[in-house]
Structure 1
């Protein structure tokens, strides 16, 4: 990973922050992208103290102009883009009859439309350099369903389909695309919304970050289109 330029969305907390620390410690130049610029800058400053080059960008992944600008800014900063990790995500938990358009749109725009936009612009650059990797952070919610999460399931099932479609489309251009189906993690994404959750059934996000790192460090001749990373006591998967 030494010297590779990596953009991580949702990089200011949870799995995103774990990914930024993990890849930076391996020598990568990491761009911390997040909706909250202040938090992104905090993570970037921590990386700068212990590792290599880093940069923070505050932007909404679902905004077409902002998404394109984030890719351009990464390339301007580090001269290239080797790895895009579509990690930013959001959720709304409520029955379908209570789910309003604004919340549906926010979830789909962040979890599905954002990865589409960023992959679209990243692929344009990666095709020119004849190399690159795109990692889409999905969820067990892309494989099965539970009540009161229709928007989240729709976005993650869609993201898994998008990821496999991009794997087929971009593979001839020497661009690897991988979907990472992550089981429950001890992150604010779950803990802030479900304070009564049994944390013993969740995994450390650093463990998922290690799995992503292993995917990124495979030999050039090998690609993994999909990988599932579960805690040993996973409750959302048999």
Structure 2
């Protein structure tokens, strides 16, 4: 098994929660991590934390739903670091509302961030990966891409779509030596869940570090192998059998 040491890895939604955990895991193994986020305060926090442990990190403000902004930031990163070895499409939002409560604009926002965002990032990085003859796209899906529950129509639509996009890109980009992996993550102890559902028992949620370490694992596969999909759930997972 190889290492991410010396690799430059972009993490969307990298300022908090799972994104921050991914940055910690990769930086600890010697990668230069590039968290991007719409919230500059979150970027400052994770950047100071990882620099304080001796890790290599630089954050950039980016909105994954804005294709021009995505292209601009990715080009800026490549200009500075001369390469990007992998991108982790982790940014995500949700509105926990019934269909008669969620607005069309809210539904579109979820699709734009959770599904169009990964497409924008993948499309923007494709030419760079192809010219390098290597690259890895990791899409953070969810058990919400495998089953459904009430009051989450936008989130389910976005994550089922992301899983389909991930497998489609896996099939399409293999000819260019580009790997694509979907990480299907179960419930985690992150603000994404705990800020919306503060009464959720922590024992039914996993530490995001476990999912972050799985991301590192798939990035460390030999060049001749790829993991198209992997699921990581807590032992007491309630959203998956």
* TM-score bin (small chain): over 0.9
- What is the CA-CA distance between 1:102 and the residue it aligns to? 1.3
Give 1:62's match in structure 2, choosing from 65, 85, 89. 65
What are the ranges of 5 or more consecutive residues in structure 1 without an aligned counterpart? none
Aligned to 1:14: 17
Give 1:143's match in structure 2, choosing from 139, 146, 149. 146
The residue matched to 1:97 in structure 2 has which SS?
coil
The residue matched to 1:193 in structure 2 has which SS?
coil
The separation in 1 between residues aligned to 2:94 and 2:184, in whole angstroms, is 16
- What is the CA-CA distance between 1:38 and the residue it aligns to? 2.1
- What is the CA-CA distance between 1:73 and the residue it aligns to? 1.8
- What is the CA-CA distance between 1:47 and the residue it aligns to? 1.5
Over the residues paired in the alignment, what is the CA RMSD in angstroms? 0.8
- What is the CA-CA distance between 1:45 and the residue it aligns to? 2.1
The residue matched to 2:63 in structure 1 has which SS?
coil
Report Cα offsets for 1:194-214 as digits up to 9, x if no partner.
011111100000000111111
- What is the CA-CA distance between 1:52 and the residue it aligns to? 3.7
Matched, 1:129 2:147: no
Matched, 1:39 2:38: no
Give 2:155's match in structure 1, choosing from 134, 152, 159. 152
Aligned to 1:221: 224
- What is the CA-CA distance between 1:49 and the residue it aligns to? 2.3
- What is the CA-CA distance between 1:59 and the residue it aligns to? 1.5
Matched, 1:51 2:51: no
Matched, 1:107 2:110: yes
The separation in 2 between residues aligned to 1:18 and 1:24, in whole angstroms, is 10
The residue matched to 1:168 in structure 2 has which SS?
helix
Report Cα offsets for 1:60-116 as digits up to 9, x if no partner.
110011111121122122110101000000001111111111111110000000000
The separation in 2 between residues aligned to 1:201 and 1:152, in whole angstroms, is 20
Aligned to 1:184: 187
- What is the CA-CA distance between 1:51 and the residue it aligns to? 3.1
The separation in 1 between residues aligned to 2:192 and 2:55, in whole angstroms, is 28
Tell me if structure 2 keeps the 8 A contact 1:37–1:59: no
Report Cα offsets for 1:29-75 as digits up to 9, x if no partner.
11111110121122112222223432111111100111111211221
Please, what TM-score do these two structures have when normalized by structure 2? Answer: 0.97
Give 2:176's match in structure 1, choosing from 157, 173, 177. 173
Give 2:205's match in structure 1, choosing from 184, 202, 205. 202
Please, what TM-score do these two structures have when normalized by structure 1? Answer: 0.98
What are the ranges of 5 or more consecutive residues in structure 2 without an aligned counterpart? none
The separation in 2 between residues aligned to 1:57 and 1:7, in whole angstroms, is 10
